[in-house]
Amino acid sequence: MSAISINGVTLILAIPAAAAVLLGLLPGYRLSARINMLASLATFLAALSLFVAKPAPGPYILVDDLNIVFIVLNTFVGFTTSVFSASYIGHELESGRLAPAHLRFYHAMYQVLLFAMNLALAANNIGLMWVAIEIATLTTVLMVGLYRTRAAIEAAWKYFILGSVGIALALFGTILVYMAARPTVGEGLDGMVWTILIDHVSAFDPALLNVAFVFLLLGYGTKVGLVPLHAWLPDAHAEGPTPISAVLSGLLLNVALYAVLRFKLLLAANAGAIAPGPLMASMGLVTLLFAGFMLYRRRDIKRMFAYSSIEHMGIIVFAFGMGGPLANFAGLLHMTMHSLTKSAIFFTVGHVTQVAGTQNIADIRGLTASHPALGWSLVLGVVAIVGLPPFGIFMSEFLVVSSTFARAPLLALPFVAGLLIAFGALFLRLQGMAFGAPAVVGKPSHASYAPMTSHLLLVLMAGIYLPPPLVAWFQHVAALLG
């Protein structure tokens, strides 16, 4: 670590960190929004460079085939969200919901969040990963409370309390992993380095690892939004600024999921430890079914899509829990597709709530008539997210279902039921919002359509044709996941 060389990893960490400092100092939201976009774009490009030149793993930083997928996805959605954020925030400023001072804070925090998420994904040290996820949690707490309304403060408080309890449990699990590693690996730094742990894990005490995994699953599972630890998620999505909802759903949940996956790998490599798969699969299934039913009772549009995120996290965790090359492949694909689709939906919803002036579903009507571009984006987004062909989510859900039918047909039934329940709920609500007599007429929207269009196009493309190199890459990673 003595000589810090400039490579892709240092760049994806250094750019957001430097941008955060800069944005904290600069006044003026137009300039800040541009710098925010530029920095996010630069980070994305740096992340792409990781495909070409992969730095060697050190005691703190690791880039391997698994996390590179997460990092590239993370920086890409981070970039498109910053583009969306520029147009969204401008409107918030005009309508007086946010003061310029808040914006400076907002932009700085946005970059800190990207930094923390990249750090968590690239960390080779389980302690460092924990710290990064904690920073990410704290920044999002601050962002959720940005509007300072009663509801926003309540949401931030709830998120903070539940998030920190989860984080605390995860730290306890991390300490237990270190305790399990110590007799074999020895004292000091090595006991926390993931690459060293995975080499020696077969000699660890299985009982201690089991307990550790329970804590880690509960702790990071809180951040993934697994039922019954999901209570913070809908509030945090509904009350914060919409770009943050997009980042939360599309990225932060993935980061927590990534942490769970890392520890799952650790457990799977130890013959004496419990199999983490069934635990994850059952939690995922419960999450899917619960969120599916909860979708029917939503009155708030952002809250509804937050429950949809919980549902999809359930699907992904279920797929990874089932394990095996096919289900893992489906899980990875679904995670990517969900990130892209859900953030596109939140981009649309952000503009929709701005033109409609409300988040109440009942008051949003006939969007395809009054704002055709927004309305049809919403329709397309929902069609994609419920898993209709030809979008990519159809393919990943199909893969999960077929691999489950092949191996555990009884589990496939509740799984398909959960998918159908969620499908019904989302379409029921979409109908009122998209069609019928419009509620608002003649209020133009200043939406930037590039972010959502690019996301939906990618999802569409993935549904029709996945390029063979990408398939090979995902298959390779799926095999790594065991």
Partner 1 sequence: MGHLEFDVAHLFAGGLVLVSFMLLYQDRLYALLNVFALQAVVLALSVSWQAYVQGAPHLYVTAAIALFFKAIIVPMALHRIIARLGVHREVENVVSTGPTMLAGMGLVALSMVVMLRVTSAAVPLAREDLAFALSVVLLGLLMMVTRNNAVSQIVGFMSLENGLILAATGAKGMPLVVEISVAFSVLIAFIVIGTLLFRIRERFDTIDAEALDRFRGGRR
| Contacting residue, 14, 22, 35, 135, with partner 1 by CB under 8 A | 135
Considering the complex, state which of residue 148 and residue 476 has its C-beta at the smaller distance from partner 1. 148
Instruction: Cite the DSSP H helix spans in 194-300.
Output: 194-200, 206-224, 232-239, 242-247, 253-268, 276-294
Residue 457 in contact with partner 1, rule: CB under 8 A: no
Q: Contacts with partner 1: how many residues (CB under 8 A)?
A: 51
Cα separation values, 360 from 132, 239, 263, 348, Å? 35, 12, 40, 15
Considering the complex, state which of residue 92 and residue 300 has its C-beta at the smaller distance from partner 1. 300
Residue 154 in contact with partner 1, rule: CB under 8 A: yes
Residue 153 in contact with partner 1, rule: CB under 8 A: yes
Quick check: 15 and 65 in contact, CB under 8 A? no
Considering the complex, state which of residue 147 and residue 258 has its C-beta at the smaller distance from partner 1. 147
Number of neighbours of residue 465 by Cβ within 10 angstroms: 9
Considering the complex, state which of residue 48 and residue 153 has its C-beta at the smaller distance from partner 1. 153
Give per-residue burial for 348-366: e unless 16+ CB within 10 Å, then b. bbbbbbbbbebbebeebbb
Stretch that binds partner 1, among 178-186, 258-266, 325-333, 381-389 (CB under 8 A): 178-186
Of the candidates 311, 461, 329, the residue with the CA atom closest to the CA atom of residue 390: 461
Considering the complex, state which of residue 80 and residue 242 has its C-beta at the smaller distance from partner 1. 242
| Contacting residue, 5, 52, 150, 465, with partner 1 by CB under 8 A | 150
- Residue position matching structure tokens 């489906």: 330
The helix-helix angle for 409-434 and 301-322 (nearest 10°) equals: 160
| Contacting residue, 37, 41, 103, 128, with partner 1 by CB under 8 A | 128
Stretch that binds partner 1, among 79-87, 106-114, 166-174, 279-287 (CB under 8 A): 166-174
Give per-residue burial for 164-184: e unless 16+ CB within 10 Å, then b. eebbebbbbbbbbbbbbbbeb
| Contacting residue, 178, 293, 405, 449, with partner 1 by CB under 8 A | 178
Site for partner 1 in 349-388 (CB under 8 A): 360
Enter the tokens of residue 454: 């690019």
CA dist 377 and 97 (Å) reads 25
Of the candidates 412, 238, 386, the residue with the CA atom closest to the CA atom of residue 319: 412
Considering the complex, state which of residue 193 and residue 288 has its C-beta at the smaller distance from partner 1. 193
CA dist 41 and 34 (Å) reads 10
Stretch that binds partner 1, among 84-92, 299-307, 368-376, 421-429 (CB under 8 A): 299-307
| Contacting residue, 11, 42, 120, 176, with partner 1 by CB under 8 A | 176
Residue 122 in contact with partner 1, rule: CB under 8 A: no
Residue 160 in contact with partner 1, rule: CB under 8 A: yes
Quick check: 250 and 343 in contact, CB under 8 A? yes
Site for partner 1 in 393-432 (CB under 8 A): none
Q: What are phi and psi of 101, to 5 degrees?
A: -65, -40
Of the candidates 413, 352, 345, the residue with the CA atom closest to the CA atom of residue 384: 345
| Contacting residue, 45, 131, 268, 461, with partner 1 by CB under 8 A | 131
45, 46, 49, 51: CA torsion to nearest 10:
-100
Q: Could you tell me the smallest distance in angstroms from the CB atom of residue 178 to partner 1?
A: 6
10 by DSSP, 3-state: which?
helix
- Residue position matching structure tokens 């809180």: 222
Considering the complex, state which of residue 290 and residue 318 has its C-beta at the smaller distance from partner 1. 290
Residue 138 in contact with partner 1, rule: CB under 8 A: yes
Q: Which amino acid is at 401?
A: V
Considering the complex, state which of residue 306 and residue 456 has its C-beta at the smaller distance from partner 1. 306
| Contacting residue, 35, 175, 274, 460, with partner 1 by CB under 8 A | 175
Residue 141 in contact with partner 1, rule: CB under 8 A: yes
- Residue position matching structure tokens 């039913």: 293
Considering the complex, state which of residue 22 and residue 211 has its C-beta at the smaller distance from partner 1. 211
x-or-dash pattern for partner 1, window 200-239, by CB under 8 A?
-----x-xx-xx--------------------------x-
User: Where on the phi/psi map is residue 4: left (φ > 0), alpha (ψ -120 to 50), or beta?
Assistant: beta
182, 187, 192, 195: CA torsion to nearest 10:
-80
Q: Could you tell me the smallest distance in angstroms from the CB atom of residue 138 to partner 1?
A: 6
Residues that bind partner 1 (CB under 8 A): 125, 127-128, 130-131, 134-135, 138, 141-142, 145, 148-151, 153-154, 156-158, 160-161, 164-165, 168-169, 171-172, 174-176, 178-179, 182-183, 187-189, 191-192, 205, 207-208, 210-211, 238, 298-300, 303, 360
